[in-house]
Amino acid sequence: MSSERLENVWKWLDRVIERGEAAGFVTLVARRGKVVHFVAHGNIGMKVKKPMPKDALFDLASMTKPVTVVAALMLLEEGRFLLTDPISKYLPEFEDQVVRLSERQLVPPDSEVTVHNLFTHTSGIGANWSRAEVYEFSTLEEYIEALAEIPLSHQPGSTWFYGYSHDVLGYLVQTVTGQPLAEFIQQRILDPLGMEDTHYWPPSSKDDRRAVLVVEGRDDLDSTSRRPLKAAEEATLTRGASGLYSTAADYWRFCQMLLNGGELDGERLLGPRTVARISQEHIPAELFDRPGTTFGLGHAVTVDPAEQGFYWSEGSYYWGGSQGTVFWVDPKEQLTGVLMVQRSRMDRINQRQVFAEIVYAAIVD
């Protein structure tokens, strides 16, 4: 790859910062297992003028989901459950559910919610809770028990309904293993991959490295727009759908493990064929309804780059977080990209597209 052409990444992001659209970024690109670009841009916050360090910690938000997916896939490999199993087999809280067709009409589901429905966000499980309301629950168990009492919003398998399914998937991991979700993820994923800067609730010793969340152009130093202070003080609720903090370098190690077919530095987490299932088409394309894109096991997957409008190769998979973080894995080009930023309501789609345009233009072989 051309290092000169990769300089366009930081030139682009410097312009974004100059326009006041974000405080700072950390970007990392690797090809064939070698990091070819790793740069910090701007400052930790808009008013906090400390330069953004390369090892800054970012709220991953929904980029927590792929980690939960890997945890669940590890259990699938161990024969702990099947994708076709009804979740009530392991989570009796979800027995006897009903589907809400309207305010006054509740009907039995056409089929039970399966493990596959959790992976693909087609379970119909959900609520109209704000993020603050979710954090009123002290534990994952308490949260899921309350969620199970709410009627399904759709017939299982009929609609892609984002968010809550991966919280339940994380609870499935916790229930089947008898280990708290955070403990399982720490022991089976973070420790083997050497992801020492990835935490659900980062220790106070790393506070000076946390990128400040920017909301409506202003620094939210305590992230109260993301979670109540009480929840941060208790630090007891860990979720499958959100909650992890990480650095660009740590998350790249996770991505590289996937790109390597489930292994990194001699530590194998998944088999290559299990990883390959991530990028298969697991729901009808019309359910996901994104041009040139389908949905695999917990990730969006490129099926037609021209229609999608991105440079990613066919079979690439990706996801992002609501605070601006994005990543992708491209098996064809043996390429991974990670972009970290903390800005609420950032235009992630445009951000992903520009980042991809610059990175792929730097491939010269």
Each residue's pLDDT tens digit, 311-351: 899 999 999 999 999 999 999 999 999 999 999 876 767 88
Tell me if residue 147 falls in helix, strand or coil: helix
Q: How many helices (H) and strands (E) does the chain have?
A: 14, 15
Residues 155 and 248 in one domain: no
Domain boundary among 182, 199, 233: 182
Q: Please, which pLDDT band fits residue 102 given cuts at 50, 70 and 90?
A: confident
In a domain, 178, yes or no: yes
Q: Which residues of 297-321 are buried (b: 16+ CB within 10 A; e: fewer)?
A: bbbbbbbebeebebbbbbbbbbbbb
The beta-strand segments (E) located in the chain are 24-31, 34-42, 58-59, 99-100, 106-107, 213-215, 218-220, 245-246, 263-264, 267-268, 293-295, 300-302, 317-320, 326-330, 335-341
Report the pLDDT averaged over residues 234-241: 96
pLDDT range class, residue 55, cuts 50, 70, 90: very high
Mean pLDDT computed over 86-108: 95
β pairing state of 218-220 and 213-215: antiparallel
Task: Check residue 328 and give its pLDDT.
Answer: 97
64 located within any domain: no
- Are 52 and 74 in a shared domain? no
Residue 78, judged by CB atoms within 10 A of its CB (0-12, 13-18, 19+), counts as: exposed
Identify the three-state secondary structure at position 290. strand
- The answer on 130 and 217 residing in a single domain is no
Query: Are 124 and 174 found together in one domain?
Result: yes
List of residues 6+ apart from 132 with CB closer than 8 A: 227, 228
Residues 203 and 177 in one domain: no
Q: How many residues does the chain have?
A: 365
DSSP sequence for 239-250: -SSS--EE-HHH
Same domain, 227 and 326: yes
Mean pLDDT of 287-306: 95
| DSSP label at residue 110 | S
DSSP H helices, 78-139, are 115-119, 131-134
| pLDDT for the residue 348 | 66
The reply to whether 216 and 314 lie within a common domain is yes
Q: Are residues 268 and 321 in the same domain?
A: yes
Cβ atoms of residues 297 and 280 within 8 Å: yes
Q: State which of 182, 199, 219 marks the end of a domain.
A: 182
Residues 190 and 325 in one domain: yes
Is the pLDDT at 105 greater than 90, yes or no? yes
Q: What is the pLDDT of residue 264?
A: 98
Instruction: Enter the tokens of residue 358.
Output: 């610059």
Tell me, rounded to whole angstroms, the distance of Cα 185 from its chain centroid.
14
Last residue of a domain, one of 151, 182, 213: 182
Q: What is the pLDDT of residue 310?
A: 87
SS3 24: strand
Q: Which residue has the tokens 């970012």?
A: 58
Which pLDDT score is estimated for 175?
98
Domain identity same for 345 and 304: yes
CB contact at 8 A, 264 and 193: yes
CB distance 335 to 6 below 8 Å: no
Per-residue confidence (pLDDT) for residue 242, from 0 to 100 = 97
Q: Are residues 212 and 44 in contact, defined by beta-carbon separation less than 8 angstroms? A: yes
Encoding tokens for residue 321? 């977080």
pLDDT of residue 104: 86
State the residue range of the domain holding 155.
70-182
Residue 65 located in a structural domain:
no
Q: What percent of the chain has pLDDT over 90?
A: 92
* Structural domains counted in the chain: 2
* β-strand partners of 38: 28
The answer to whether position 264 is within a domain reads yes
At 216, the pLDDT band (50, 70, 90 cuts) reads: confident
More confident residue, 346 or 174: 174
Write phi, then psi, for 192 (nearest 5 degrees). -60, -30
Q: Say how far apart CA 19 and CA 343 lie, in whole Å.
A: 14
Looking at the structure, tell me whether residues 52 and 200 fall in a common domain: yes
Q: What is the mean pLDDT of residues 50-66?
A: 97
Residue 334 lies in a domain: yes
Structural element, H or E, at residue 23: none
> What would the two tokens of residue 330 be?
């491209």
Q: Please indicate, yes or no, whether residues 174 and 226 belong to a single structural domain of this protein.
A: no
We report the CATH number of the domain holding residue 339 as 3.40.710.10
Averaged over 137-150, what is the pLDDT?
A: 97
Q: Which range (99-103, 117-121, 137-141, 295-299) has the least confidence?
A: 99-103
> Max alpha carbon distance in the chain (Å)?
62
In-domain check, residue 352: yes
Residue 307 has pLDDT above 90, yes or no: yes
